[in-house]
Amino acid sequence: MLQRLSRYALIVLAILVMSVYLPMLYQKVFVAKTGRTHLFYSPVIKKFVFREIVKDHRFLTQDETGRDLDRKTFETLIPFIYYKNMELWGLLPFEIDGQSFDKETIKANRQVIELRPRMIADRSPQDGIYPLIESQPDQALLVFPEDRFRIADRMEFVNADNNTVDEGLSRVFTGAFKEAGFKFPARLIAGKGTILKPFDEGYFVVDAVGAVFHIKRVRGKPLCVRTPIPTDLGIRSIRISENRRKEFYGMLLTNSGKLFLISYDNYRLIPLPVDNYNPDTMNYKLIINPLYRTAVYSDKTMIYATAMTPDYETIAGYKRAMQASRQTTARTFYSACFPFSIQIKDHTSDYMTFDLIPNGWKGLIGVGLSIVIYLLFVCLRKHNLKEAWPDLAVIALSGVYGLIAVAMVRPDP
């Protein structure tokens, strides 16, 4: 009895390992790798254009009507994206809708901000301790401070060199928070703790009751503002983007999946299009050029885009099935061969996962074939079918994984 239990423990372990690595190996060998669809709104023809890898590193480049485009035509239709090539080709400055655009104008009016699932606060581990960079340094470049801060029942600064609490600085900044009406502890702390940016806007901090505060270090002193952002908004995450255009501080995501830009205009919220948007699975990108704003968001199956005016009024929309979602012979065989797979790494999160992913009814084909193969083996070897039912049960539950496992881990004679 103990030997049988030991055998099936090894079989279960083998099935778990195979369900992680066999599907992964199959996809690397047999499933053609396809890149994401790159989708843009053309200010020249007022239509969406896209480029995607379809097979064997071949590109499909078209506009929304299905008209094929060569590479140069594609790039000239989105000149704000490929303005450096336009310069090389001697096409700068160019005119669109009676307006002339040179290199400097384009550079000053371009911006891209992105929110990937793994950038959402609750989908990746948080530092818990942050640098508050001096916003007005007495030199040309930003520099890291000697301290880091954390917020629990107060705003506390810790010297990074000797790991001691700076009581004076902690008292001053905590006092600034309290004077602005902050309720400790903090629910969310959002900012960019890096000096690789043109200037510093500090951090946006959500307090215990949902109010949003903006804190900066200016000449060594706190500048704390309670923003008019509603406390009942249900803020899930904030992504800051310091950009010289200074149109908005960053992007705000709510628990209900709504997205807003936080404007420099008294922290006014600008709603963004979110039809069919799932923040846990979709990458969201806002592309800004001198004439239009384009929101593009996608997962592994679909890509959606909305073109807007500079005032964020919708003017056009488009959606398309991603190349990776289209059924091929290799993908069909994959679904039939493996009844399920176990995913231990999710690209939408920085946490380790252990997700069981079923392959639907097609997986029953592989299970049935595995059972037939095992029964043929039993008959050819003239084994007792009554003694084989535990192995059959394992194969019925796990398909090809179970078939391989029971063949590898044989019972003792």
CA 241 to chain centre: 16
Each residue of 137-151: pLDDT tens digit?
A: 888 889 999 999 999
The percentage of the chain sitting over the pLDDT mark of 90, rounded to a whole number, equals 68
Q: Does pLDDT of 409 surpass 90? A: no
The pLDDT of residue 125 is above 90: no
What is the CB neighbour count within 10 angstroms for residue 62? 17
pLDDT at 239: 97
pTM of the model: 0.86
Given pLDDT bands bounded at 50, 70 and 90, which one contains residue 80? very high
Nearest to 15 by CA among 358, 341, 344, 413: 341
Confidence of residue 413 (pLDDT cuts 50, 70, 90): low
Between residues 58 and 10, which one has the greater pLDDT?
Answer: 10
Per-residue pLDDT at 352 exceeds 80: no
**Structural domain boundaries in the chain:** 2-31+330-408, 38-108, 111-288
Q: Which amino acid is at 318?
A: Y
Average confidence (pLDDT) over 214-218:
96
Task: Compute the average pLDDT of residues 380-393.
Answer: 77
The more confident residue out of 24 and 269 is: 269
Percent of the chain residues past pLDDT 70, beyond the cut: 95
- The total number of residues written for the chain in this structure: 413
CA distances from 380 to 170, 384, 412 (A): 79, 11, 19
SS3 track for 277-321: CCCCCCEEEEEECCCCEEEEEECCCEEEEEEECCCCCEEEEEEEE
Question: Does the pLDDT value for residue 389 go beyond 90?
Answer: no
Q: What is the pLDDT of residues 86-108, one digit of tens each?
A: 999 999 999 999 999 999 999 99
Is residue 168 very low, low, confident or very high in pLDDT (cuts 50, 70, 90)? very high
- Rounded Cα distance, 357 and 339, in Å: 9
Per-chain mean pLDDT for the chain: 91
Q: pLDDT band at 250, cuts 50/70/90?
A: very high
Per-residue model confidence (pLDDT) at position 248? 97
Looking at per-residue pLDDT, the higher value among 380 and 402 belongs to 402
DSSP 8-state secondary structure symbol assigned to residue 384: -
pLDDT, residue 39, reads 95
59 or 100, which is more confident: 100
Which residue pairs, CB below 8 angstroms and at least 24 apart, start in 121-130?
121/188, 121/190, 121/236, 121/237, 121/238, 122/236, 122/237, 123/280, 123/348, 123/349, 123/350, 123/351, 124/349, 124/350, 124/351, 125/350, 125/351, 126/189, 127/193, 129/158, 130/189, 130/191, 130/193, 130/203
Q: Residue 223: pLDDT above 80? A: yes
pLDDT value of residue 110 = 96
- Largest interatomic CA distance in the chain: 88
> Mean per-residue pLDDT for 323-343?
79
Summarize pLDDT for 251-287 with one digit per residue, the tens.
999 999 999 999 999 999 999 999 999 999 999 999 9
pLDDT at 164: 94
